[in-house]
């Protein structure tokens, strides 16, 4: 059709723009239309295509990768149950090991030719420039930030729908637990809990960290002296036992003879017997892997499983990997 006000043979401006647009798109580099930029603790990562070769440089990132349905091409060794934690082992067969979380094998990472590296600022700040030369690297601020990590990795890997499902499932479980424990404990809720760990030559009180962040989200309180910044404090003398006092104590330790000797010596001390939690029979050993080392959305759900069982509450929601 000839435009009634345009001389025959003259091209419409809109048609010209359309043709130019198609021409421009034809010359765009592959993947530009799908470019994703991810803000993280040390800058912005640009990903031109959805990553297929992901390297995980700390435990929480490995946990989160499994939750998102990603099998990393490389990962650092676990702190115990080496080379990887039992609760993740079924999903991580034949993954290349890259040394320790605190000293990953840079040459090994480069040889894997990854298209995404996941790191933590408080572990990998010094080597971040080298990692970022190997592949786009996203960095979480702290290894215990399991929900920000999930959102970060879901965006970077193109798994936003799965990430949202995991977060919504976690929120639903959190609300359900809060409702049930409030009814169960009545005026005793919220209760103050201490998080303790025993080592071969000392004990620890955790003011912060993974377990504390999960417990606080669920509504548990820290004793007033434990409401401090930082991960916590090391105690080297039994005379410091009163600092552990709380209505309930959750404690974890490795299955090591030296650690068990320390615990037996401290728990036999009269000051330990005077703790409120001890006198009330409210001291509970928990798994150090899921309560302290796992640091991802799956470990958080396993922690919550423990709490449902501990308080004898009905847990009506499906397992996280069945739900998502």
pLDDT tens, position by position, 140-188: 998 899 999 999 999 999 999 999 999 999 999 999 999 999 999 999 9
Please state, for a pLDDT cut of 70, what percent of the chain lies above it. 90
The candidate with the shortest Cα–Cα distance to 243, out of 197, 202, 205, is: 205
| pLDDT at site 287 | 95
Please state, for a pLDDT cut of 90, what percent of the chain lies above it. 85
| pLDDT at site 105 | 97
| pLDDT at site 23 | 36
Other CB atoms within 10 Å distance of the CB of residue 60: 29
Instruction: Kindly tell me the sign of the dihedral angle through the C-alpha atoms of 245, 248, 252, 253.
Output: positive
Instruction: Kindly tell me the sign of the dihedral angle through the C-alpha atoms of 39, 28, 50, 133.
Output: negative
| pLDDT at site 27 | 37
Eight-class DSSP state of 287: -
User: Tokens 């809109």, residue?
Assistant: 14
Rounded to the nearest 10 degrees, the angle between the axes of helix 160-185 and helix 297-310 is 20
pLDDT band at 65 (very low <50, low <70, confident <90, very high): very high
Is there a contact between 291 and 137 (Cβ–Cβ < 8 Å)? no
Please determine, for residue 317, whether its predicted confidence score (pLDDT) is greater than 60.
yes
Q: Specify the domain boundaries for CATH 3.40.50.1980 within the chain.
A: 32-159, 165-323
| pLDDT at site 71 | 97
Is there a contact between 112 and 55 (Cβ–Cβ < 8 Å)? yes
| pLDDT at site 21 | 38
Q: What is the mean pLDDT of the chain?
A: 90
**With respect to CATH, is domain 32-159 assigned 3.40.630.40?**
no
DSSP bridge pairs for 96: 74
Q: Model pTM?
A: 0.86
Measure the CA–CA gap between 127 and 28, rounded to whole angstroms.
Answer: 33
| pLDDT at site 62 | 97
| pLDDT at site 34 | 76
pLDDT tens-place string over residues 259-310 = 999 999 999 999 999 999 999 999 999 999 999 999 999 999 999 999 999 9
Measure the CA–CA gap between 216 and 28, rounded to whole angstroms.
Answer: 49
CATH number assigned to the domain covering 165-323:
3.40.50.1980
Q: Distance between the two ends of the chain, CA-based, in angstroms?
A: 54
pLDDT tens-place string over residues 20-49 = 333 333 333 434 457 999 999 999 999 999
If one compares 19 and 278, the residue with the highest pLDDT of the two is 278
| pLDDT at site 255 | 87
């Amino acid at each position: 059709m000839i435009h009634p006000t345009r001389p025959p043979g003259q091209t419409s401006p809109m048609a010209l723009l359309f043709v130019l647009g198609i021409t421009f798109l034809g010359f765009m580099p592959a993947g530009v239309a799908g470019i994703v930029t991810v803000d993280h603790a040390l800058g912005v990562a640009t990903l031109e295509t959805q990553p297929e070769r992901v390297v995980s440089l700390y435990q929480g990132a490995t946990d989160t990768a499994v939750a998102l349905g990603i099998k990393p091409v490389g990962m650092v060794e676990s702190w115990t149950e080496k080379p990887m934690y039992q609760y993740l082992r079924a999903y991580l067969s034949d993954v290349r090991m890259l040394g320790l979380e605190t000293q990953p094998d840079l040459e090994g990472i480069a040889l894997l030719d990854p298209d995404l590296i996941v790191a933590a600022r408080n572990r990998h700040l010094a080597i971040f420039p080298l990692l970022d030369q190997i592949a786009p690297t996203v960095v979480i601020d702290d290894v215990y930030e399991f929900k920000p990590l999930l959102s970060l990795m879901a965006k970077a890997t193109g798994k936003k729908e799965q990430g949202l499902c995991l977060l919504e499932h976690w929120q639903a479980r959190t609300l359900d637990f809060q409702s049930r424990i409030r009814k169960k404990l009545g005026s005793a809720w919220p209760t103050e809990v201490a998080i303790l760990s025993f080592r071969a030559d000392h004990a620890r009180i955790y003011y912060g960290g993974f377990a504390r962040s999960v417990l606080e989200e669920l509504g548990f309180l820290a004793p007033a002296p434990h409401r401090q910044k930082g991960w916590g404090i090391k105690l080297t003398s039994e005379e410091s036992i009163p600092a552990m006092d709380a209505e309930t104590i959750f404690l974890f330790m490795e299955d090591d003879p030296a650690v068990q000797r320390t615990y037996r010596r401290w728990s036999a001390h009269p000051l330990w017997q005077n703790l409120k939690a001890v006198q009330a029979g409210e001291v509970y050993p928990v798994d150090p892997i899921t309560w302290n080392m796992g640091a991802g959305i799956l470990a958080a759900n396993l922690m919550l499983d423990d709490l449902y069982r501990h308080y004898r509450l009905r847990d009506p929601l499906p397992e996280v990997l069945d739900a998502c």
